[in-house]
Chain A
Amino acid sequence: MKRLLLLSVAIALAAPALAQEAQSTAPYAYRQLADAAQEARAQRLMETLRCLQCQGQSIADSDAPIAGAMRSLVRERIARGEQPEAIRQWLIERYGDYVSYAPQLTGLTWPLFALPVVLALVAFLLLRRRFTRRKSA
C-alpha cells in the first residue's frame, strides 16, 4: 500500500513529463533517426542550437519542452534530406541570431571574427619585438 502511494506521488510529480501532446507534435524529441549518418548530422547541428527557454544550454542538452520540439524539428528536416546549414538559416529567420551558438558573420558580429586575427598579430609583434631587440642590443 505504501509503495502504491509512493508510486502515485512519484508519477503525479512527473505528470508534466507524461504530457501526451509532446508525443504527437514532437515524435523525434527523444527518438533517434534510424540512419546513423543522418542522426550524426542532426546531432552535430543540435549541439550548436540554443535552447531558447533555458539559456546556456544547447537543445541537445536540455529537458525543456521547446528543446524537445526543436530536436524533433531538426531530426525530421534532416531525415527529409535538408542541409544542416539551411535548417540553421531557417531557424535564425524565425527566432533570430540568438538561436544559433555559431555566430553568423554580420555587420554586428564581425569583431568576433576579427579578434583572433588581431590577437595573432599582436602576439606576433610582441614576440618579434622581444627577440629582435635582443639581437640589436
Chain B
Amino acid sequence: MIAELGLAALWLAAALAALQLVAGVLGLTVRGASLGDAVRPVAIVQGLLALLAFACLVYVFAVTDLSVKLVALNSHSMKPLIYKIAGTWGNHEGSMLLWVTVMGLGGGFVALVERRLPERTMLATLAGQAFVSLGFYGFLLIASNPFERLSPVPAEGNGLNPLLQDLGLAFHPPTLYLGYVGLSIAFSFAIGALVTREVGPAFARAMRPWVLGAWIFLTIGITAGSYWAYYELGWGGWWFWDPVENASLMPWLAATALLHSVSVLASRDALRAWTIMLGVIAFSMSMIGTFLVRSGILTSVHAFAVDPQRGTFILVLLAIYIGGALALFGLRAGTVAEGERFAPVSREAALVFNNVMLCAILGIVLFGTLYPLLAEAMGAKVSVGPPYFNPMSALFAVPMLVVLMVGPLLRWRRDTFARVGRLLVIPAMLVIAAGILVVVIGGAPLLPFIGLVLAAGLAWASVLPLKGRNLRRVPLPVWGMVIAHFGIAVSLFGMSSESAFSIEKLVALRAGEVTQVGPWDVKLDSVEPVAGPNWTALEARLLVRYGDDGKVTQMLPQARGFWAPPQQTSESALLTRWNGQLYTVLGGEAPAARQAGDRWQLRLWWKPFAPLIWGGGLLIALGGVLALLGRAAADLKRISVKDKIASRRERQGR
C-alpha cells in the first residue's frame, strides 16, 4: 500500500513538473502571461510530492517490506536500522529517487524565496528546472521504478554490500547529491538568464548562494568519501583517481571555478558569458558523473549498478540537456555583453587565471577518465591512473596555487605588484625555508616536495587579507575566503606529508610479540573472535605506545566476515595524534595462522600529518559556510531595509 502511494506521488510529481514546464514557457509569452502565476505554487507542490515518494521508499526499507523488489534485492531483515534506511539510497533506483527529490525540493525552495530577479527570468529558470526534472522522472518511472513489486515474496533479502555498511558511507551519497542538485539550480538560473538575456550582478547574487551551497556539500562529500576509502578499504590509500572519485571531483572543480567567477560577476559585473558557461558546465559534470557511476559503464570498487540499458537512457538525457544548453549558449552568448574590463594585474585577472587553470585540470580529469572507454571502443584496454593524473594536474594546479598567494591581496580593476610585493616577502621566505627543511630531513619526491613548500607559503599568504584590518569588522565572506584558502594549505600539507613520509610495516606476529613502525611500538596482545549483528570477526588487541615513554593505548582492528552477502572486510583501527595517524589492519589473508604457530598478519602504517588532509577539506567547507552565512545575512538585511522603506513611504504617502 505504502509502495503504491509512493509510486502515485511520483507520477503526480512528474505530471506537475510537466505543468511547471508548460506554464513557465507559456508564461513568458504575452497571451499566456496569466499562467505564470501558477509556476511557483506548482514547483513547491512538485517538490513536496517527490519528498512524499522518497519518504515512502524509506519506509518500505525501514520495515524491510520484501514484496518490494528493490528492498528484496538490496536489504536484509537482520541489519541495523540505520543501514536499512541508508540502504534506500545505496542502490540505483533509490539514489535516482533521492536525486529527483532533492532537485524538486531545491526548485520548490527557489520558487518560495527568490524574489530579487525579474519575474520573467524566474519563470524561465523554473521552467528549466522542471525540464531537467522531467527527464529524471521519466527515467525513474520508465526505466527504473523503485516501487516495483515482487511475486512471490522472498523469505529473505539479498543484503547490502558490507563495504557500504558504514556510517561514513551511509551519508556520503546524499551529501554529494545535494551538491550535484544545487548545481542543477545554478544551471537553471543560467538557462533562465540566457533565455531572457538578463545577466548581471542581480542575477549573480541570486545564483551565488546555490553555487556556494552546492560547493559546500560537494566539498564535504568528497572529503568524507576520501576518508571512507581511507579507513574502510584497509590499505591506507585516500585517493585512487578512481573514475567514481573523479566523477565527484569534476563537478567540484567546475563549481569552484563558477564560485569565483560568480563573485566577480556579483561585485564587478564582469565575466558574464564565462559565468553562464561555467554554470552549464558544472551541472553537465554532475550529470556526467551520475551517468558514469550509474550506467555501469565503469566497473570499479564503487559502481553498484550494472545495466547498460539504463546507461543509454541517461546518455540520451545527457545529450538533450548538455547539448541543448550549449546550443542555447551558442545562440545567445553573442548577445550577452562582455561586461566590465580590467587590467592584467588585478583581482579579476587573478580570478580569471584561477578559472582557466581549474578548467584545465577539469579537462585533464575528464579526458583521463573517459579515455580508457574510448580506447576500449577502439579495441584496446589501457589504464590511466595516479602516474598520469598526479603530474598532469599538478602542471596546472601549481601555477594556480602560486597565484592564489597573490590574488586575494590585489585590488579590483587595476593594481601593481609593487604594492603587494612587500607583503609577500614572508611567504616567499617560508617557501625557501620549507624547501631547505625538507632537504635536511631527508628529502621527498618531487610532487610532495612542491606540495610541502607551497603549503608553507600559502598558509601564511592565505591569512594576509586580514592584515591591518579590525578583525571584528571583517565581513563574514572575507573570513570565509581566508579560512577556505588556509584549508587548502592545510590539506595540501597533509597530502604531501602523507605521500612523502608514510612508513609501512607488514609483519606476522605471535601473541605477545612487539614490532616497531616509525616512532611507535606495537604489541600484539591477543586475537579474539567477536560477533556483530550480521557479521563475525577476528579482533586483534594491539597495545601501542608512542616513543619510549608514551602512554599505552589499545587498538582493535578486525577482520570481518559478513554472511549476507558473504564477504570479507578488514576494519582498520586508527589512532590519531596531533602529528599524524597510526593505521592498523589485521590482515585479511593472514597466511597460515594456525600452521605457523598462531602468527597473525598485521599491516601497520605511521602516516605523519595525514588527518590534515580531511581537516583541511573541512576547513575549506567551513569557509564556504561562513561565506554563505555572510551573504544570506546581507540579503536578509537588505530585504528588511527595503520593507521598512516601503512601509515608511506608504505611511508618508497617506
Q: Which residues of A are in contact with B by a Cβ distance under 8 Å?
A: 3, 6-7, 9-11, 13-14, 16-18, 20, 22-23, 29-32, 43, 47-48, 50, 54-58, 60-63, 65, 68, 96-103, 108-109, 111-112, 115-116, 119-120, 122-123, 126-127, 130-131, 134, 137
Q: Of the 9-residue stretches B58-66, B98-106, B202-210, B382-390, which lies at the interface with chain A?
A: B382-390
Give B245-279 as 1s and 0s: 1 = Cβ < 8 Å from A's Cβ atoms: 00000000000000000000000000000000000
Q: Tell me if B587 is interfacial: C-beta within 8 Å of chain A.
A: yes
Interface pairs (23), CB distance under 8 Å: A6-B529, A6-B536, A11-B593, A13-B568, A17-B588, A29-B591, A30-B508, A32-B506, A43-B504, A48-B385, A56-B244, A56-B300, A57-B242, A58-B240, A61-B237, A65-B589, A97-B380, A102-B388, A112-B371, A112-B388, A127-B353, A131-B344, A134-B342
Would you call A123 and B357 a contact (CB within 8 A)? Answer: yes
Would you call B382 and A29 a contact (CB within 8 A)? Answer: no
Q: Tell me if B113 is interfacial: C-beta within 8 Å of chain A.
A: no
Contacts of A97 in B (CB 8 A): 380-383
How far, in Å, is A54 (CB) from chain B's closest CB?
A: 7
Would you call A108 and B380 a contact (CB within 8 A)? Answer: yes
Would you call B383 and A119 a contact (CB within 8 A)? Answer: no
Q: Tell me if B556 is interfacial: C-beta within 8 Å of chain A.
A: no
Contacts of B234 in A (CB 8 A): 63
Would you call B235 and A17 a contact (CB within 8 A)? Answer: no
**Contact A119/B233 with A17-B568, A18-B590, A130-B352 known, Cβ cut-off 8 Å:** no
Would you call B395 and A116 a contact (CB within 8 A)? Answer: yes
**Contact A31/B506 with A6-B531, A63-B234 known, Cβ cut-off 8 Å:** yes
Would you call A29 and B343 a contact (CB within 8 A)? Answer: no
Complex: chain A residue closest to B233, CB-CB: A61
**Contact A17/B589 with A58-B385, A61-B233, A101-B386 known, Cβ cut-off 8 Å:** yes
**Contact A55/B536 with A30-B601, A108-B378 known, Cβ cut-off 8 Å:** no
Would you call A13 and B570 a contact (CB within 8 A)? Answer: no
Contacts of B353 in A (CB 8 A): 127
Would you call B504 and A61 a contact (CB within 8 A)? Answer: no
A10 interface neighbour in B506, B561, B588, B594, Cβ under 8 Å: B561
Would you call A109 and B387 a contact (CB within 8 A)? Answer: no
How far, in Å, is A53 (CB) from chain B's closest CB?
A: 11
How far, in Å, is B365 (CB) from chain A's closest CB?
A: 11
Contacts of B383 in A (CB 8 A): 50, 97-101, 103
Would you call B341 and A14 a contact (CB within 8 A)? Answer: no
Would you call A103 and B388 a contact (CB within 8 A)? Answer: yes
Q: Which residues of B are in contact with A by a Cβ distance under 8 Å?
A: 233-235, 237, 240, 242-244, 299-302, 341-344, 349, 352-353, 356-357, 359-360, 363-364, 367-368, 371, 375, 378, 380-388, 392, 395-396, 504-506, 508, 528-531, 536-538, 559, 561, 563, 566, 568, 570, 587-595, 601, 603
Would you call B559 and A17 a contact (CB within 8 A)? Answer: yes
Would you call A13 and B382 a contact (CB within 8 A)? Answer: no
**Contact A61/B568 with A55-B299, A101-B387 known, Cβ cut-off 8 Å:** no
How far, in Å, is B501 (CB) from chain A's closest CB?
A: 12
Would you call B591 and A18 a contact (CB within 8 A)? Answer: yes
Complex Cα–Cα for A14 and B508 (A)? 17
Would you call A18 and B594 a contact (CB within 8 A)? Answer: yes
Would you call B240 and A61 a contact (CB within 8 A)? Answer: yes
Would you call A14 and B299 a contact (CB within 8 A)? Answer: no
How far, in Å, is B558 (CB) from chain A's closest CB?
A: 10
How far, in Å, is A31 (CB) from chain B's closest CB?
A: 6
Complex Cα–Cα for A97 and B376 (A)? 11
